[in-house]
Structure 1
Amino acid sequence: MSDPEVFKISFIFPNQDKYEGECTRTPDGILERNGYGIHTTPGGIIYRGSWKNDKMNGLGRLEHPSGAIYEGEFKDNMLHGTGTYIFPNGAKYTGQFSENKLEGKGEFTDTQGLEWDGTFHYTAAPGLKLKLDM
């Protein structure tokens, strides 16, 4: 079976979301976001990155109007894999994500610029250690 033809489209959804990028046609004739594309919402959310099977899959960057930014791996529209999340207050987490949750080894830089590392489990981080350069 040959790879499906890739189309470049600009599409506005009924909710006024907008997608500009690559897509392919399913065997049923439905266009799906596949490849690289930019999806924006009227509320100011912007996703730039990879799409597969009409969902955010692969590497991408998701920006929120609050100032929150995630850059990293996505799986089925979720933050999943390795990435960096910058919180609206400027704090930053770099590490593992599992289905939109901080999960696994990671580093956290707080609003004072102090760096912590350890294992994260959603909102808890048992055994978190302050990294000090001495």
Structure 2
Amino acid sequence: MAAEKEKGQATKSKEEGNLKVSYIFPNGDRYEGECSKSTDGIMVRSGKGKHTSATGVTYTGDWHDDKMNGRGTLVHPSGAMYEGDFKDNMYHGTGTYRFPDGTKYCGSFSKNRLEGDGEFTDSQGLVWTGGFHNKSAPGLKLKLNM
């Protein structure tokens, strides 16, 4: 937001130390939410907000230093959705990723990768648990619901 500040359009209202803005970027992206001044005096997304890209990707959640940081939800036009922790614009911490085909992964993420303990629910509704490491998951076990 900072680099494109001069080209976009913004409206603002003061609320609890942060500014509440509605901003349209030159590329068609939109941001509605809170902003604050950085140490350099540049306005950055900070607090709660919603960013919608021109391609239809929507993030609603926490912002810090003009990046997705904290809890939030990222929804893709394909139907894919991630809900959970973000750090520096990446899935990082715990969360749930739902794929367009209905499958989902709930568990740990590290820098946009499946990393650590989690559960994967396949397209038949079977739940697999175990340790996930990027694209591999050695030793997965089928969770039986009795």
Q: Structure 1-normalised TM-score?
A: 0.95
State which of 47, 60, 71 in structure 2 corresponds to 1:35.
47
Matched residue SS, 2:34: strand
1:103 corresponding residue in structure 2 = 115
Distance in structure 1 (CA, Å) of the matches to 2:73 and 2:86: 9
Cα deviation code 1:55-95 (max 9, x no counterpart): 00000000000100000000000000000000011001000
> Taking every aligned residue pair, what percent have the same amino acid on both sides?
63
AA aligned opposite 2:108: Q
State which of 84, 95, 104 in structure 2 corresponds to 1:72.
84
Farther-moved stretch of structure 1 (8-17 vs 92-101): 8-17
Note the residue ranges of structure 1 that are not aligned, 5 or more in a row.
none
Distance in structure 2 (CA, Å) of the matches to 1:39 and 1:119: 33
Distance in structure 2 (CA, Å) of the matches to 1:26 and 1:132: 51
1:81 corresponding residue in structure 2 = 93
Matched residue SS, 2:61: strand
Runs of 4+ with deviation above 2 angstroms: none
Note the residue ranges of structure 2 that are not aligned, 5 or more in a row.
1-15
Contact 1:34 1:52 in 2 (8 A): yes
Distance in structure 2 (CA, Å) of the matches to 1:76 and 1:21: 18
Number of equivalent positions: 131
1:56 corresponding residue in structure 2 = 68
Q: Once superposed, what is the RMSD of the aligned Cα atoms?
A: 1.1
2:130 corresponding residue in structure 1 = 118
AA aligned opposite 1:72: G
Distance in structure 2 (CA, Å) of the matches to 1:34 and 1:121: 32
